[in-house]
């Protein structure tokens, strides 16, 4: 009995510090990806490369940060709200990047001089002309 009472009590880790540690890991990796996205906006040589790289890294970084916040709060209402943002961002960001790149290809934005396979782009452009294919016939005059 004397020996068991002399052993020091085990240090307990509360649930709050554990949640903080886990959410900090997610938030730090999320900001790392967002930093990569912003540095990529400065250093990459061409518009199309910048578009693709920064929007993809941005979506991933925001997803990780939001997940870290969900883990920190540990409540169901926060999870529902932030998963709504998550769903919306993952739906809209690639779509808007594609629309912008397509509009830029229509407006003859220059490619980087080292791009390959520009022949396929010309064929795509002829096959999917925006103005002819999507305006209904009664509106064309």
Partner 1 sequence: MTIVLYVVISILCINLILSLYRFVKGPVMPDRIVALDVFAGNLLAILALYAIVSDVREFIDIAVLFSLIAFAGTMTFAYYMVYTGKKKD
- Point out which residues bind partner 1 (CB under 8 A): 20, 23-24, 27-28, 30-31, 34-35, 37-39, 41-42, 47, 50-51, 54-55, 58-59, 61-62, 65-66, 69, 72-73, 78, 81-82, 84-85, 88-89, 92-93, 95-97, 99-104, 106-107, 109, 130-131
Closest approach of partner 1 to the CB of residue 96, in Å: 5
Closest approach of partner 1 to the CB of residue 86, in Å: 10
CA distance 79 to 51: 30
Of the two residues 95 and 121, which places its CB atom closer to partner 1 in the complex? 95
CB neighbourhood size of 71 (10 A):
20
Closest approach of partner 1 to the CB of residue 103, in Å: 4
For 90-97, the CB contacts below 8 A with 24+ separation are 90/59, 90/63, 93/55, 93/58, 93/59, 94/55, 94/56, 94/59, 96/55, 97/51, 97/52, 97/55, 97/56
Of the two residues 39 and 121, which places its CB atom closer to partner 1 in the complex? 39
Of the two residues 108 and 123, which places its CB atom closer to partner 1 in the complex? 108
Closest approach of partner 1 to the CB of residue 116, in Å: 21
Nearest in space to 112 (alpha carbons), one of 38, 27, 22, 47: 47
Tokens for 7? Answer: 């052993």
Of the two residues 1 and 13, which places its CB atom closer to partner 1 in the complex? 13
């Amino acid at each position: 009995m004397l020996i068991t009472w002399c052993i020091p009590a085990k240090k307990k880790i509360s649930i709050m510090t554990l949640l903080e540690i886990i959410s900090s890991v997610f938030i730090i990796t999320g900001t790392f990806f967002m930093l990569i996205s912003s540095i990529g906006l400065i250093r990459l040589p061409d518009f199309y490369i910048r578009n693709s790289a920064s929007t993809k890294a941005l979506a991933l970084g925001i997803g990780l940060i939001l997940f870290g916040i969900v883990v920190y709060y540990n409540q169901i209402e926060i999870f529902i709200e932030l998963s709504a943002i998550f769903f919306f961002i993952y739906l809209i960001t690639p779509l808007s990047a594609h629309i912008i790149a397509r509009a830029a290809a229509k407006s003859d934005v220059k490619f980087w001089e080292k791009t390959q396979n520009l022949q396929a782009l010309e064929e795509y452009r002829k096959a999917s002309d925006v103005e002819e294919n999507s305006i209904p016939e009664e509106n064309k005059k």
